[in-house]
Amino acid sequence: MNTGNLRSAGPGLGRLARTGGVVLLLAAAVALPFVSSSPYVLDVAILMLFYMCLALGLNVVVGYAGLLDLGYAAYFAVGAYTLGILTKTFHVNFWLALVASGLFAMLLGAFIGMTVLRLRSDYLTMVTLGFGEIIRITANNLKITGGPTGIFGIMAPKVFGLSLGQPRNIYFVMLILVVLTTIAMARLGNSRVGRAWACLREDQDAAEAMGINTLGYKLLAYLTGTFWGGLTGAFFAVKMTAVSPNSFSFMQSVTVLMAVVMGGMGSVPGVILGGALVILLPELLRDIADWRYLVFGLALVLLMLFRPVGLWPARRGQEEV
């Protein structure tokens, strides 16, 4: 039905516009630190990249597999804490710690996933919220995580001689990460796995009937998403040089979810846009700062009422909502 929209105008034109656009965007992104001397702009851009990463990760869980997870910040937290604890307390090599962060988050995801994925959608949502809070409270209470103070004084590593403590360097690292992830996620979405996810998202019973191992695929989505969250968390710890339980609250999970929902669930360009917007909009609304969450809440409601597909929806997903 709608999937043919690119074809009707002629294959060449649409494709050209898209590739051209992407190239332009990339060029702008690469040029940014050199064009603008404002450290503020760079800082905002780095935060935008972080949230894009998180949104891409959550997108696999919410967008591809259709699981509304309200505790995503927990994986972000686990990744950040793992990196912090391993590098600061145990003096583990950065790269090892980085991989460990992703793996730990994935492990947690496996544990939670196995518990939760059999539940129906609303229960799954509440339970993930519960787990998110449990993780945060645990991080706040344990000695090894530094209690409420958290871990501070995390040193940035040197990558090819460049210190990641420098904003410009971490900007480029995050940019590369976002680009790679985007390619990977887009590929994933169009693969066999992606199609299986689409199937189970639209009608779980039908998918089961067709022989798709729904639990297995859900778990796969969940593990992918959580690994990604953990990895991003590790980089976050490096950028912030400190990790504390405050950064992993329910509101943090909501913000990432907003990015995914606003941009368009299941749509890679959509969630990237969403990730950028959740950072940008508060900046533009800075004068009415008190009203930020009010506007967020209102935006969510209005969005669901009038444009539930999001600002830049996935092509394939048009029919659902």
Binders of another protein in range 247-276 (CB under 8 A): 247-249, 251-252, 254-255, 257, 261, 265, 269, 273, 276
Q: How far is the CB of 265 from another protein (least distance, A)?
A: 8
If one asks whether residue 21 binds another protein (CB under 8 A), the answer comes out as yes
- How many whole angstroms separate alpha carbon 311 and alpha carbon 321? 13
CB burial class (10 A; 0-12, 13-18, 19+) of residue 313?
A: buried
Residues 6+ apart with CB under 8 A from 240: 80, 154, 247
Asked if 197 and 191 count as a contact pair (C-beta separation under 8 A), the reply is: no
Q: CA dihedral defined by 21, 22, 24, 30, rounded to 10 degrees?
A: 160
The pair of three-digit structure tokens given for residue 36, joined into one six-digit string: 């603008």
Question: Which of 101-109, 121-129, 173-181, 212-220 is the region at the interface with another protein (rule: CB under 8 A)?
Answer: 121-129
Q: Which of 125, 162, 212, 215 binds another protein (CB under 8 A)?
A: 125
If one asks whether residue 95 binds another protein (CB under 8 A), the answer comes out as no
Binders of another protein in range 209-248 (CB under 8 A): 240-242, 244-248
If one asks whether residue 123 binds another protein (CB under 8 A), the answer comes out as yes
Question: Which of 11-19, 98-106, 173-181, 218-226 is the region at the interface with another protein (rule: CB under 8 A)?
Answer: 11-19
Among 135, 142, 137, 64, smallest CA distance to 104 is for 135
CA-to-CA separations, 4 to 10, 11, 48, 123, 265, in angstroms, rounded:
10, 10, 32, 37, 20
Whose structure tokens read 């909009």?
Answer: 281
If one asks whether residue 27 binds another protein (CB under 8 A), the answer comes out as no
Q: Which of 2, 3, 26, 39 binds another protein (CB under 8 A)?
A: 39
Q: How far is the CB of 297 from another protein (least distance, A)?
A: 3
Residues that contact another protein, how many (by CB under 8 A): 108
Q: Which residues of 153-174 are buried (b: 16+ CB within 10 A; e: fewer)?
A: ebebbeeeeeebeeeebbbbbb
Among 49, 311, 315, 89, smallest CA distance to 182 is for 49
If one asks whether residue 199 binds another protein (CB under 8 A), the answer comes out as no
Q: Give me the 49-88 binding string for another protein, x by CB under 8 A, dash otherwise.
A: --x----------x---x-x-x------------------
Asked if 230 and 101 count as a contact pair (C-beta separation under 8 A), the reply is: yes
Whose structure tokens read 């496996």?
Answer: 110
Q: How far is the CB of 95 from another protein (least distance, A)?
A: 22
Binders of another protein in range 281-320 (CB under 8 A): 282-284, 286-294, 296-301, 303-305, 308, 311-312, 320
Q: Which of 160, 205, 209, 319 binds another protein (CB under 8 A)?
A: 205
Q: Which of 2, 3, 5, 89 binds another protein (CB under 8 A)?
A: 5
* 114 vs 191, beta carbon nearer another protein: 114
If one asks whether residue 41 binds another protein (CB under 8 A), the answer comes out as yes
Q: How far is the CB of 4 from another protein (least distance, A)?
A: 9
If one asks whether residue 157 binds another protein (CB under 8 A), the answer comes out as no
- How many whole angstroms separate alpha carbon 262 and alpha carbon 278? 9
